[in-house]
Amino acid sequence: MLPATTFVASAGVRSGERDPFVDAVLAEEGLTLGERQPRTLDELEDDYFDLIVTLAPEAHHAALELTRSLAVEVEYWPMPDPTDTGGTREHIMAAYRDVRERLKTRISRRFLLPEAKNATD
């Protein structure tokens, strides 16, 4: 989705286990996290980033605190939390797919990928 020269890292506010529903909805798109495991923001503290995108209020506040003395842009893209969804496996998968599609749209628009550019013309 992004150029190969783009470095992307992911982290959360709290540590946890890798979510199998994330793996499942990524696999539907032919994507994989490979061997990546969940990390916390603190584990990324020594890395340099031009942009941090947060998806939840708690993560946004933590990122702002972590970067208060750094020249880094922090954007908040509010997303529903699919882990709050109950019901059948299909209901849960639908919630994860919804977040996946919202993120695809936001990423495309934010980085003006050709397909997003055409959609806004």
What are the structural domains, with CATH classification, of the chain? Answer: 20-116 (3.40.50.2300)
Q: The tokens of 87 are what?
A: 């019901």
Give pLDDT, residue 113.
64
Contact of 22 with 33, CB cutoff 8 Å: yes
Closest CA to 66 of 48, 47, 45: 45
Q: Tell me the whole-structure pTM to 2 decimals.
A: 0.83
Give pLDDT, residue 46.
67
State the Cα–Cα distance between residues 92 and 94, nearest whole angstrom: 5
End-to-end CA distance of the chain: 20
Q: The tokens of 81 are what?
A: 């939390």
Give the contacts of 110 (CB within 8 A, at least 6 positions apart).
53, 75
**Count of CB atoms situated within 10 Å of the CB of 76:** 16
Q: What does the pLDDT look like over 47-89, one tens digit per residue?
A: 788 899 999 999 999 999 988 998 899 999 999 999 999 999 9
